[in-house]
Amino acid sequence: MSGRAGDHVISSRPTEEALIARYFAPLAGPGADGLRDDAASLAPSPGHDLVLTADAIVSGIHYFPDDPPESLARKALGVNLSDIAAKGAVPRGFLLTLALPADWTEAWLARFAEGLGQASRASGCPLLGGDTVKSGGPALIGVTAIGEVPAGRIVRRATARVGDRICVSGTIGDAALGLRMRLDPDAGWVRALDAPARAHLADRYLHPQARLGLADAVLRFATASMDVSDGLAGDLAKMLAGAGATAEIDAAAVPLSPAATRAIASRTDLFDVAVTGGDDYEILCTVAPDSCDAFRAAAAAAGVPVSVVGTVGSGSGLPGFRDAEGAARVFAAGAFSHF
């Protein structure tokens, strides 16, 4: 639909149809009819369910207005594919809702579409449709991603069992530290990092990588799964509250990159940022003890590092993070889930 409510100005800019044909139609998948229709058709593979998720990112809130448009396209798709992977699903396609500010340029859109095409091809997740509107404010990039899992096999968030091992992919805290670095580039801990470490943290904030390679191992072995988007501590609390359980986490086992390790060594309170800051887009899952070796082997075969950080316990409190001295700390749940 086009603009309404006093918005009937004939502009010299290309029409929405022309922009779609030029920039987005090349990304269209089967069933999308070249984006010439208002809807796409899609069927799951035989014996499969579709898995649907929606996440939006907003300029000035979820990213910096001057971030490269290619990066924003990767991020918008990536944060959604992260949910798909965490459910044990493989991507099938996505729809895009793009709300543009008054000062959008075709150059920005061209770069955005270029990045979106690269991310789409890299993940085997074609564009199925969407909408382009004026935002009346900052840009908003909304994605609905669709994946598929064998029928009835979606891996849920709240289904962890007492005794299950708690596993995390990759490393935690890099994106949160990367954001802190962007906000305060002259901080002492930032200046203490070398250039490759700074680049690592910046890249992890800007370019979340959905752990699509881990989806099959999650599907085969995880009893519960979610992606870490709002911080390990808070997301773990959500997962365990849903299961009516709690956990003790070995703080030293929380996987940290060399860059995060160095940052935390120079300012130990940055560990709290690492486990509460969010934007990790790693997979947090639980695995029965007797499946743990098989899960780790499957993850290794897929090239995704995983770490066991604790065990699901009975009870209802917030998960405690136990440090080397044996002191357990909790992080207030929900502190970062306001919007």
- Residues between 21 and 50 with contacts to its own copies, criterion CB under 8 A: 31, 33, 36-44, 48-50
Window 256 to 295, contacts with its own copies (CB under 8 A): 278-279
Nearer to its own copies, 164 or 227 (CB): 227
Nearer to its own copies, 6 or 326 (CB): 6
Window 112 to 141, contacts with its own copies (CB under 8 A): 128-138, 140
Burial of 66 (0-12, 13-18, 19+ CB in 10 A): exposed
| Residue closest to 321 by CA, chosen among 155, 210, 172 | 172
Q: How far apart are CA 157 and CA 194, in angstroms?
A: 38
Nearer to its own copies, 292 or 317 (CB): 317
Residue 286 labelled as part of a binding site: no
Smallest gap from residue 269 Cβ to its own copies (A): 14
Among 22, 62, 220, 267, the residue binding its own copies under the rule CB under 8 A is 62
Q: How far apart are CA 198 and CA 259, in angstroms?
A: 7
Smallest gap from residue 87 Cβ to its own copies (A): 5
With binding defined as CB under 8 A, does residue 97 bind its own copies?
yes
Nearer to its own copies, 154 or 292 (CB): 154
Contact 328, 337 (CB under 8 A): no
Burial of 11 (0-12, 13-18, 19+ CB in 10 A): exposed
With binding defined as CB under 8 A, does residue 319 bind its own copies?
no
Residue 186 labelled as part of a binding site: no
Smallest gap from residue 215 Cβ to its own copies (A): 12
User: DSSP assignment of 305-335, as one string?
Assistant: -EEEEEEEEES-SPPEEE-TTS-EE---TTT
Q: How far apart are CA 323 and CA 264, in angstroms?
A: 14
Write 323-330 long-range contacts (CB < 8 A, 24+): 323/251, 323/252, 324/251, 324/252, 328/248, 329/251, 330/233
Q: How far apart are CA 185 and CA 40, in angstroms?
A: 45
Among 27, 125, 179, 287, the residue binding its own copies under the rule CB under 8 A is 179
With binding defined as CB under 8 A, does residue 146 bind its own copies?
yes
With binding defined as CB under 8 A, does residue 73 bind its own copies?
no
Window 209 to 238, contacts with its own copies (CB under 8 A): 226-227, 229-230, 238
Q: How far apart are CA 208 and CA 174, in angstroms?
A: 10
Contact 45, 14 (CB under 8 A): no
Q: How far is CA 223 from CA 136, 172, 240, 328, 336, in A?
A: 44, 21, 12, 26, 26
| Residue closest to 250 by CA, chosen among 328, 317, 172 | 328
Smallest gap from residue 46 Cβ to its own copies (A): 10
Smallest gap from residue 223 Cβ to its own copies (A): 14
Smallest gap from residue 250 Cβ to its own copies (A): 26
Residue 157 labelled as part of a binding site: yes
- Cite the annotated binding site by residue number: 38, 53, 55, 62, 83, 130-131, 157, 227, 229-230, 279, 336
- Cite the annotated binding site for ATP by residue number: 130-131, 157, 229
- Cite the annotated binding site for substrate by residue number: 62, 279, 336
- Cite the annotated binding site for Mg(2+) by residue number: 38, 53, 55, 83, 131, 227, 230
